[in-house]
Amino acid sequence: MAMTKLSIKQASRNSDWLEAMAAIEQIVPFPALKKRAGETLKRIRKATEGRKTAYAWSAGKDSIVLGHLCEQAGITDSMIAVCNLEYPAFMAWVESNKPQGCQVMNSGQDLAWLQKHPNMLFPRNSALTGRWFSIVQHKLQSDYFREHNLDMLLLGRRRADGNYTGKDGLYTNGQGVTRFSPLYDWPHEYILAYIHYHQLTLPPIYQWQDGFVRGTHPWPARTGTTSEKQGWQEVYAIDPGIVEQAADYLPGAAAFLKGVSA
């Protein structure tokens, strides 16, 4: 019998995720994972039959599972939404591991933009965090939906993360974009189990500090910091070059580097 214990991502500890991954075969036996995956595959095929569909791939753990299932269902078109403020190591991984047929779309935010919008740096409330999703992922998903005349865009959203997924994972927003989240009722442990049993590769972001809690994100959208200095410390530990480039635009980065060299 499969057991679950992980709480909503933002309220969990990274160590909880690592412990769950290490014990995943005891938490979710393969037959339980196989049964749920098979049911979800049927769900995808039923919902998308006769419709022009694609899926949104973020290179995050949920979208990696979604993409693997979609490919089995014959859905091979996909997109990823990025901006010019991504971690270089993350983008290098994306370029090497993105699904065949995945269109990389860029919303254009860069250091000059961030200089004009300093409130968007290391958001410490849900409204600003949501704003990042709105101006990057949500906008580009809508653009892709319209450009390709889709009937439906599949997402990796899950209720276990506190995400809105609509009734049975399906909803259409006010702009006429229909999104379907076939993993909407998957517990965290089943996502980890699918990755484990299918030997799927995760991007380096999950190896960085609090990777499972922070998830994929542009570096200035890094959450969980209590101060700007902490944000720079964490980004510097991942890639000093990001902070060095940012210092030409953002006084906080320049001040941090001055402290490092003192």
Q: What is the mean pLDDT of residues 11-31?
A: 93
Structure tokens at 121: 């740096």
**Residue 1 pLDDT:** 42
Whole-model pTM: value is 0.94
Q: What is the mean pLDDT of residues 171-192?
A: 96
Query: Which residue type sits at 90?
Result: F
**Residue 4 pLDDT:** 54
Helices 61-72, 30-48: crossing angle, 10 deg rounding? 70
Q: What is the mean pLDDT of residues 139-153?
A: 98
Structure tokens at 132: 């990042």
Residue with tokens 């699918």: 194
Residue with tokens 């030409």: 248
Structure tokens at 17: 């995720």
Q: What is the mean pLDDT of residues 96-121?
A: 97
| 70 burial type by CB count under 10 A (0-12 exposed, 13-18 middle, 19+ buried) | buried
Distance CA 201, CA 66 (A): 13
Distance CA 241, CA 237 (A): 10
Distance CA 188, CA 159 (A): 10
